[in-house]
């Protein structure tokens, strides 16, 4: 599990500026989960071989009565999920009463806290930081988030206690042990039930011994002689009785599982229909580029009318994920659960397929002949060559001229054409355009 850094502080101190600095690398995935998290934003960052997750907590308003509630509602939740807290204050605004109350809250929390004095650009650092010692949080760390000043140095020190990852650990999706399946979805849709089904009853017992509180858990298993690895977020442990507390839904854990799997099986609940949380999670799966299989669960005993309603809703609201296979299952009764495997296999095969430059370039030229890109500044946009730039998700790099001016509609045309001809199913395809002029 990667270290999780929470950014806290009152509004305007520079949290989102720092968040953007930390998550702007090419691989960074910024997930905005308004419906899921009440203003918390999650992103991935990386320093050398140390990936980390950042949570931006929005802001704590200066309202004295409201502050406890605000802390409880957002920041405490984020702090709870975090290993490290960066408490930001504003060198230009100076020390405020709100900073004092936040510091009091942080002091009683046992998480490692760093007092970060932002906006020191153009100021003398020791003078700018001096007054914040009064907060009683120890050493101050001056930075200028908008200039990137001292940011890398700070994160380097903050992450010092955490080990560097090996290349394999950096890229869990390249796991050779088998297809990595992540079963994801909001609470109560039936993830644990499905996971138990997928593994078969025998495996559950084995699993009772394992399980830390927060790590996404990996379970290698075999089906019909083929190896798989299940990346579980649901808490596979069987709930023994009603008094047992259901494992808390952890967004960090869910994001981690999505990032580290090859194929995400996203579980939806036919009884409740689609809700905002479903769409946000799905959006994250898509942004992360993971292959996807959709499983509409609790299909058992549903009236024909309810089934029709769910189908229509999916068609209307999940159009953006229409490349994914859709299954209607009952995890409880095991109905259609086995059908997920061919879809998982196919999505994985598509996500990891390799195509020669020759094939892709021919395909590109055919597509261009069929349908020319438009003229820009009285010159026609030229697309000459295509090669593969990556997999899981597949990345197609297209070289040409004036590709910056390529209209969205034409990009969609290319995506659809490549998808159809290469028979890509169950995974997003990404296009990158490079221009010679």
Q: Which is closer to ligand GDP, CB of 297 or CB of 343?
A: 297
Strands, sheet with 112-118, edge to edge from the N-terminal-most edge strand: 30-32, 41-47, 50-56, 4-8, 84-90, 112-118, 140-142
Question: What is the SS3 assignment for 101?
Answer: helix
> Phi, psi (5° rounding) for residue 230?
-95, 125
User: Rule CB under 6 A: is residue 300 a binding residue for ligand GDP?
Assistant: yes
The answer, yes or no, to whether the previous bond of 393 is cis (omega within 30 of 0) is yes
User: Rule CB under 6 A: is residue 14 a binding residue for ligand GDP?
Assistant: yes
CA distance 112 to 9: 15
Q: Which is closer to ligand GDP, CB of 16 or CB of 388?
A: 16
Half-sphere exposure (Cβ direction) of 378: Cα atoms closer than 13 Å: 0
Nearest to 376 by CA among 305, 290, 288, 435: 435
Q: Which is closer to ligand GDP, CB of 265 or CB of 386?
A: 265
DSSP 324-344: SEEEE-BTTTTBT-TTHHHHH
Binding-site size for ligand GDP (CB under 6 A) equals: 31
Could you tell me the smallest distance in angstroms from the CB atom of residue 175 to ligand GDP? 23
Q: Which of 96, 101, 109, 188 binds ligand GDP (CB under 6 A)?
A: 188
**375-414: contacts with ligand GDP (CB under 6 A):** none
User: Rule CB under 6 A: is residue 34 a binding residue for ligand GDP?
Assistant: no
How far, CA to CA in Å, does 47 sit from each of 44, 98, 117, 151, 411? 10, 32, 21, 11, 33
User: What is the 8-class DSSP label of residue 219?
Assistant: E
Q: Which is closer to ligand GDP, CB of 13 or CB of 229?
A: 13
User: Rule CB under 6 A: is residue 21 a binding residue for ligand GDP?
Assistant: no
- Map residues 102-141 to x or -, x wherever contact with ligand GDP holds by CB under 6 A: ----------------xx-x--------------------
Q: Which two tokens stand for residue 406?
A: 């390529």
Q: Which of 2, 17, 41, 427 binds ligand GDP (CB under 6 A)?
A: 17
CA distance 141 to 150: 9
Q: Which of 13, 115, 294, 383 binds ligand GDP (CB under 6 A)?
A: 13
Between vectors from CA 80 to CA 78 and to CA 85, what angle results, nearest 5°?
Answer: 65
**331-370: contacts with ligand GDP (CB under 6 A):** 331-332
Q: Which is closer to ligand GDP, CB of 16 or CB of 405?
A: 16
Could you tell me the smallest distance in angstroms from the CB atom of residue 263 to ligand GDP? 18
Could you tell me the smallest distance in angstroms from the CB atom of residue 270 to ligand GDP? 8
User: Rule CB under 6 A: is residue 261 a binding residue for ligand GDP?
Assistant: no
CA distance 225 to 310: 35
Annotated binding site for GTP: 9-16, 56-60, 118-121, 185-192, 232-236, 297-300
CA distance 41 to 378: 44
**46-105: contacts with ligand GDP (CB under 6 A):** 59
Residues at the site binding ligand GDP, with contacts judged by CB under 6 A? 9, 11-17, 59, 118-119, 121, 144-147, 185, 187-193, 234, 297-298, 300, 330-332
């Amino acid at each position: 599990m990667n270290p999780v850094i929470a950014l806290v502080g009152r509004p305007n101190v520079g949290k989102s500026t720092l968040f953007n600095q930390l998550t702007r690398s090419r691989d960074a995935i910024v997930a905005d989960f308004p419906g899921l998290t009440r203003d918390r934003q999650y992103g991935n960052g990386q320093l050398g071989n140390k990936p980390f997750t950042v949570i931006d907590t929005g802001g704590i308003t200066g309202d004295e009565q409201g502050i406890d509630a605000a802390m409880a509602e957002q920041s405490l939740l984020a702090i709870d999920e975090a290993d490290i807290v960066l408490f930001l204050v504003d060198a230009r605004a100076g020390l405020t009463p709100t900073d004092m109350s936040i510091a009091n809250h942080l002091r009683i929390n046992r998480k490692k806290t760093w007092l970060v004095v932002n906006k020191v650009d153009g100021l003398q650092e020791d003078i700018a930081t001096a007054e914040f010692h009064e907060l009683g949080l120890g050493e101050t760390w001056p930075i200028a988030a908008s200039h990137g000043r001292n940011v890398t140095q700070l994160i380097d020190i903050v992450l010092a206690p955490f080990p560097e990852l090996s290349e394999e650990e950096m890229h869990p999706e390249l796991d050779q042990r088998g297809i990595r399946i992540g079963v994801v979805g909001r609470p109560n849709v039936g993830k644990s039930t499905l996971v138990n089904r997928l593994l078969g009853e025998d495996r559950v017992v084995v699993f009772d011994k394992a399980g830390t509180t927060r790590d996404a858990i990996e379970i290698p298993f075999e089906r019909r002689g083929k190896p798989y690895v299940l990346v579980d977020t649901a808490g596979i442990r069987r709930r023994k009785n009603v008094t047992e507390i259901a494992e808390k839904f952890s967004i960090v854990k869910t994001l981690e599982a999505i990032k580290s799997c090859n194929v995400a099986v996203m579980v939806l609940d036919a009884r409740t229909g689609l809700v905002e949380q479903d769409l946000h999670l799905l959006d994250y799966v898509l942004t992360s580029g993971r292959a996807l299989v959709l499983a509409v669960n609790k299909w058992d005993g549903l009236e024909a009318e309810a089934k029709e309603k769910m189908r229509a809703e999916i068609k209307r609201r999940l159009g953006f994920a229409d490349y994914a296979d859709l299954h209607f299952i009952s995890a409880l009764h095991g109905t259609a659960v086995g059908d997920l495997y061919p879809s998982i296999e196919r999505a994985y095969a598509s996500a990891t397929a390799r195509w020669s430059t020759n094939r892709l370039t021919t395909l590109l030229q055919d597509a261009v002949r069929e349908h020319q890109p438009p003229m820009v500044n009285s010159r026609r946009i030229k697309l000459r060559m295509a090669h593969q730039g990556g997999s899981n998700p597949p990345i197609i790099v297209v070289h040409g001229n004036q590709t910056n001016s390529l209209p969205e509609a034409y990009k969609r045309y290319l995506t659809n054409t490549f998808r159809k001809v290469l028979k890509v199913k169950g995974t997003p395809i990404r296009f990158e355009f490079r221009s010679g002029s």
